[in-house]
Every structure is written in structure tokens, then in C-alpha cells.
Structure 1
Amino acid sequence: MSSNTGSNLPGSQEPDVPMAASPLTRAVLEIDEYTAGLGWDQPARLFALVDTARLRAQEPGLAAQLGLDSTAASTAVSYTPVEQEELPAGTALDEFLATIAWPDAVAGCALTVERLMLPPSAEASVPHDLSEKQLAQWVAKHPDRQEVRMTVAVLRDGARESAVRLREKDSAKEVLTGADLVPGLADALAATFAD
């Protein structure tokens, strides 16, 4: 597991996440808040999710570097996102994800990516004879397009969570969460754990 230590998430400072949220939801919202702080028009970012207690025990140096206070050990399950190296430029996301194999210490992974989306009302007007590149150009010119940042996480056990933030409603209070918001991306991430 590599870490991009220049921009790791501070483990001891969680965003305003509801305490009742699941550990995976808390991790997704922490990543969303971190990437929101970097601004828009960012490249895709990949994170390993590691069990925080296990990280403290097995990698105390890395845990200290991430700001995880060893005296704040808790019996509650939590996941620490560790940002991975930058994704290779010019490689399609699905092709890149197909090359990943995680070590056993990684409990899950997450990806944050920005995309243009159309509301359901615009789906009927989408031309069907366009290539993928032409379709992307058509969507980019559509007056109802919306820029979104999607953060999707999966665990080895199959659990999933997503957070979607609209650029026009760029506020932590406006982030939509749910397990099935971005199923295709969740499937691609889950495949990185397949044997």
C-alpha cells in the first residue's frame, strides 16, 4: 500500500459527520470533505481504506504521520482513507481499475471522480448514434448539464457507500449519500478485490 503523504487525510479531524452514520459512510464523507477542500476540476483520486485500529497497531509510524492519535483508541470500527499515488494520465479509469490488486491489510477502497451528468428529464433527447467521445461532447454542451463529484467506496465484505456533491450546491449539507447511487463505479471498485 503506497501513500501520498503530501496530501493524506488528517485522521484525527473528521468532518461534520453524523455519529449514527456507519463507519463506511463516515469514511466516504471524510473523503468528500477532503476533496471539497481541494476545489473543483481535480483529477480522480484513489484511496485505500484501512481498519484504523489495525493501522495503529501494525503501522504506528504511518498512523502518526496521518495524525491518528494512538491514545484515542476506540472499540468502534473505523476506516482511515490513505490516498494512493496519482492515477496515470491518459489511462481510462476502467482500464486502470482492472490493474489493481490490494494487499490483505486493505479493508476497502474508495474513488472520487468528477463528471458531467444530465437530469432524467434530458435522457429522452440523448442521441443514440454517438460514440463515447461524441456523447461526452454532447453532454458538455447541454444546457441542463450538472457537474458532480462522486465518491464511491466498497469494502471486501461487499458493503458499499457513495456521496454525490453537485458543483452548484457545493456544501457539506447538500451531499447526497447512499449505497446504490453509482452502482457501475461501485462494481468496478469491488472487482479490485476479486481473487
Structure 2
Amino acid sequence: MTALEETVKSIEQQTGWDGPPQLFALVETAELLKVQPELADQLGFEDGDGFTAVDQGELPDEDIGALLPGIVWPESVTGCALAMVRITLPPEVEEQIPDGEDAVAWAVAHPLHEELKIVVGVLRDGTRHAVLRIRRHEDELLSAEDLVPDLAEALSQTLLPDE
């Protein structure tokens, strides 16, 4: 298992089903411990391998696609990850979805809805990994490099040098 895959899975395990999306800066644990060695004992790090996910706080539960282009990370950030829960419906009920603010409440109440917990992580070198859990099947975790390619690409754009 790669360090990014391990980090993404760890974020998924630590985030719940309720609440707004959460954004994480991914920093190399070894670099973090050079700057703040006291964190090794406080956080129980046994070594400096892998990445440390630094929670950036909750994001507004709005259009993530519109929010991400405004985010730029400093060079000290090796990557980033986003955790969020989304509601999906089967294609056969899409025409029934009401317009406006009632759409989300309607979708949540619909008997065919599915809740998905998604975590996508990307690194500056182009490495990416995502996991997805369906609430009705909580004991199963889907895991792949390009599970949510559009979101991975949008997160990658936040890591590009500011021009």
C-alpha cells in the first residue's frame, strides 16, 4: 500500500457521515517532525514515514467545483485531500427531482437514494488515490487511483504553482 493510499484510507476512517466537506493539507511527516519534533510524542508517531493530514477545517457545503479553483497551497504542502458525503439517485428518478432548495431534502428522503463517503487525495508529483464507501454497505471500501477522476483533477489544480 502506498503512503498516499494509507493516508486517504485513514482520513476516510476518521471522518463521519454527517457534516460539510473537509479539506486536508498533506505534509511529509518527516518534514513536519523536523520543524516540530515534539509532535512525535503528542501524536504517537513511531517514525517519520508517509504523510500527515492537516485538517483545514470544514468547507461550506456548496459547489466544491466552484470553491477549489480559489485554493492555492504553499510549497511546504506535498498534497491535499478532500473528504465529503454525497447523495446519489438512480437515473430513472432524475426527472422527478424538484428544482431549488427542496432538491436535497427530496433526494435524502427518496427511498432509492444512496449516501457515498468519498475521500480523494493527490500529490504534487501527480500521484492520486481515492476511496468510496456506500453507507448501506459500510463494511466495503472501494479503493482505486482514478475512482473520482474529475475531483482528483480539480484537487491537482490547487497544487500548481501560482502564476
Q: 1:86 aligns with which of 28, 34, 58?
A: 58
SS of 1:188's equivalent in the other structure is helix
Q: How big is each residue's C-alpha offset from its partner over 1:26-51, in whole Å with a ceiling of 9 and x where there is no partner?
A: 0001101111xxx4212211111111
1:126 aligns with 2:94: yes
Q: May I ask how many residue pairs the two structures share in their alignment? A: 161
Give the TM-score, by structure 2 length.
0.83
Determine the C-alpha separation between the residues in 2 that align with 1:96 and 1:109: 14
- Extract unaligned runs of 5+ from structure 2: none
Contact kept, 8 Å, 1:50 with 1:80, in 2: the verdict is yes
Q: Which residue of structure 1 lines up, in the alignment, with residue 127 of structure 2?
A: 159
Determine the C-alpha separation between the residues in 2 that align with 1:191 and 1:131: 31
Determine the C-alpha separation between the residues in 2 that align with 1:90 and 1:164: 18
Q: Matches of residues 1-195 of structure 1 in structure 2 within 5 Å?
A: 21-35=1-15, 39-69=16-46, 72-73=47-48, 77-87=49-59, 89=60, 91-118=62-89, 122-127=90-95, 136=104, 139-171=107-139, 174-195=140-161
Contact kept, 8 Å, 1:56 with 1:68, in 2: the verdict is no
Determine the C-alpha separation between the residues in 1 that align with 2:100 and 2:26: 31
Contact kept, 8 Å, 1:160 with 1:186, in 2: the verdict is yes
SS of 1:104's equivalent in the other structure is coil
Give the TM-score, by structure 1 length.
0.71
Structure (1 or 2) with the greater strand fraction: 2
RMSD: 2.5
1:49 is aligned with what amino acid?
L
1:30 is aligned with what amino acid?
S
SS of 1:127's equivalent in the other structure is helix
Contact kept, 8 Å, 1:98 with 1:192, in 2: the verdict is yes
- Report which stretch shifted further, 135-144 or 41-50: 135-144
2:130 is aligned with what amino acid?
S
2:44 is aligned with what amino acid?
G
